[in-house]
Amino acid sequence: MKKWFNTNYHYIVPEWSKVKPHLTNTRLLDLYIEAKEVVGDKAKPVITGPITYVALSSEVSDFTSAVKKLLPLYKQVFNELAAAGATYIQVDEPIFVTDEGAGLLEAAKYVYSYFAKEVPEVKIIFQTYFEALIDAETLSELPVAAFGLDFVHGFDENLQAVENGLFENKEVFAGVVDGRNIWANDFVKTSELLKKLQDKVGNLVIQPSCSLLHVPVTTKNENELELVLKNGLAFADEKLEELVLLAQHLDGKESDSYKQHLANFDALQAADFRNVSLENLDNVPTQRVNYKVRRKVQEAKLGLPTLPTTTIGSFPQSPEVRRTRLAWKRGDISDTEYEDFIKSEIARWIKIQEDLDLDVLVHGEFERVDMVEFFGQKLAGFTTTKLGWVQSYGSRAVKPPIIYGDVKHIQPLSVKEVVYAQSLTDRPVKGMLTGPITITNWSFERSDISRADLFNQIGLAIKDEIKLLEDAGIAIIQVDEAALREGLPLRKAKQQAYLDDAVHAFRIATSSVKDETQIHTHMCYSKFNEIIDSIRDLDADVISIETSRSHGDVIQSFETAVYPLGIGLGVYDIHSPRVPTKEEVIANIERPLRQLSVEQFWVNPDCGLKTRREPETVAALKVLVEATKEVRAKYRK
C-alpha cells in the first residue's frame, strides 16, 4: 500500500509483472445502476484514468505499452456504462497536477483521442485534484467534454488558465468546496470566484475540490462540540448543502439558509480562541551543539552496547486493552481502575522487554488510541469528534482531531506513564511523543493561519512536554514524524519551503534539551533520497525508518548519501504476522553496515507493534535480539 498522493488515504499498488490486464467483474456498472435507481440521470460513474493508473503502478517496464493494453478494457467499461444510461463519465487523472504529469502529455493526447474516436457518445470529464493542472495550455486541447479543476488547492494557476480563455468552449466542473478539510466554506470569497468563472467557461458546474471520502459524514451528531465551532464545520453532508446554496446564490436566490451560513462563518472567524499567539521565537533555541560532542556525552550516560536494540514505541493492543478502554469511556469502570490496568500492562511489558534483553525499552502506549488523537485530547486548541471517522484503507478508519484554535501545552501529555515505566527498570525507557508535522498532517488543521505558524505552535507545545520528561529523568525522548513526507507539496518547486518549515518546527521542539538527552525520531516509508538533506537537518540523534516495504530503496538512499547521525533501518516487517528468521534479520542488519558505521547503527522493527498479536511480537523480537548479538560478536573480533 501507498498513500494516495499527499493524503492519508491508502491504495494498493497494482503490480504489472507477468500480468495480462482483463476485466474481472462489473462492479462499477453495478454501482452506477444502483445509484441511478436513487438519483436518476444525475448519477455519474467515476473511474481512475488509465494514465494515472499506470503511473501509480509498479513493475511497469514499458509505460506506453501498458497504457495501450488498458484502453480496450476502458472502452468496454465506457460502452457498458453508456448503454446503462450514463451521459457523463468522470475519469480521474490527478497525475496531471504533478511534475511527473509534464512528461505524460503525449500519452494524454493519445488516450483521449482514442476515447473520442471509439466512444464518441460518452462525455468524459477529465478530473484532477489536489493541485493545478501541470500544463493547462496543452491539456485544455484534449478532446473531452469537460475538465474538473481544483480551485481550492490549485487556485491561482487554475484561475489564471480560465481567465486566459483556455476553457471558454469547455464545461468546467469547478472544485470550490474543500473536500479535504472540515471548515465551512467562505461563501463571499467563493461567490466572487464563481462569477469570474461563469464569464470565462462554456458551462460551469460546481463541486467539491476532490472526493469527500477525506472528511467525515456529517456534523449532525456532534452535539458535544461548542456551538460556534460546530456551526463553523462542514463534513460531507454539509458540503453538499453548501454546493446547493452556492448554486442558488449564483442564480440570484439568497435563502435564509445562505444568510445563516454567512453568520456562522463570521462567528467562527471572530471567536476568541483564534487569536494567533506565538511566543517570541527568537528566544527559542533551534540549534544544539555538534552531534559528535553530544554523542560522547550520551554514550557516557547511557552505556549502551554496539548495535543497541529497541522498538518503535507501541506494543499489541489486545482485546482486553480495547475492552477496558471502552468500559472506561462508558463509565463502567473508574479512572483509578483504568489507570491501574494501564500500569499493569506497562509493568508486564517492561518485564517482557527485560527478559528479551532489549537495550532501550518503551512503555507500550497502552493508554493511546492512536498517535495523534491522544495528543489532541490534551492540548489546548484541539478538539475531538464523537463520530468523525474517515477511511484510511479498506475497513480501517481514523478519527483525526480538529485544530480549531491556538495550540498550547496546558497539562502533561505522557509523563505519568513513561516515568512509571522507568521506575520499573534500570534500562533506559524512551519517552514517546508525536512531532508537530505529523500532528498537523494527521489532523484537520486550521485554514486561517499559515502552516508554518501552526507547525511552530505545536512545536512549542511539544518542547514543553519534552522539558517535563527530561526533568523527570527520562534520558531518551522520541519525537515521531511518521507523516513528514506525506505533507510534501506535489510540486517540487513548493517542496523546499515546506521542508524548511518542518525542520524549523521540529528543532523548536527538540533543541532546548541538554546535550546528554538523546532525541530520536521515527518515519514511515518514504522516498528518502528526495528529502535526505532535510532529514539530516532535523538533527535528531537517532532516526528509525520503516524499510521492509521499500524493496531496498530506503537502504539505497543511505548507501549513496553521507548520513552522520544515529540510524535504525527496520530489520523486519511488522505489517505481516510472519516471524522473521534469524538469517533474514542478520542480512538486514549487515547490508546497511556496508555503508553505515556500526557505531551509528541501531536495530529495531519497522514500525510500532500495536496491530500485531503478542505471541508473534515476542517471537519476532526474540529473533531480533539473537540476530543482533550474533552480528555484535563479529564486530568484537
User: How far is 220 from 237, CA to CA, in rounded Å?
Assistant: 9
Phi first, then psi: give them for residue 379, nearest 5 degrees: -100, 140
Phi-psi region of 444 (alpha: psi -120 to 50; beta: other; left: phi over 0): beta
Cα–Cα separations (whole angstroms), residue 633 to 305, 307, 358, 596: 11, 11, 16, 18
Residue 174, SS3 per DSSP: strand
Active site residue 520: no
Cβ neighbours, 10 Å, residue 386: 12
Q: Alpha carbon 609 to chain centroid distance?
A: 19
Cα–Cα separations (whole angstroms), residue 500 to 25, 189, 330: 47, 30, 43
Residue in 216, 192, 197, 190 with CA at minimum distance from that of residue 147:
197
Say if CB 126 and CB 146 are below 8 A apart. Answer: yes
Look up residue 237 and give its DSSP letter: H
Look up residue 397 and give its DSSP letter: E
Cβ neighbours, 10 Å, residue 574: 22
- Which one of 249, 504, 520, 575 is the catalytic residue? 575
Residue in 577, 580, 550 with CA at minimum distance from that of residue 316:
577
Say if CB 431 and CB 468 are below 8 A apart. Answer: no
Strand partners, 391: 397
Q: CB-based contacts of 292: which residues, under 8 Å, 6+ apart?
A: none
User: How far is 477 from 538, CA to CA, in rounded Å?
Assistant: 14
User: How far is 338 from 327, CA to CA, in rounded Å?
Assistant: 9
User: How far is 449 from 69, CA to CA, in rounded Å?
Assistant: 47
Look up residue 73 and give its DSSP letter: H
Residue in 634, 573, 566 with CA at minimum distance from that of residue 602:
566
Phi-psi region of 152 (alpha: psi -120 to 50; beta: other; left: phi over 0): alpha
Among all residues, which ones are annotated catalytic? Answer: 575
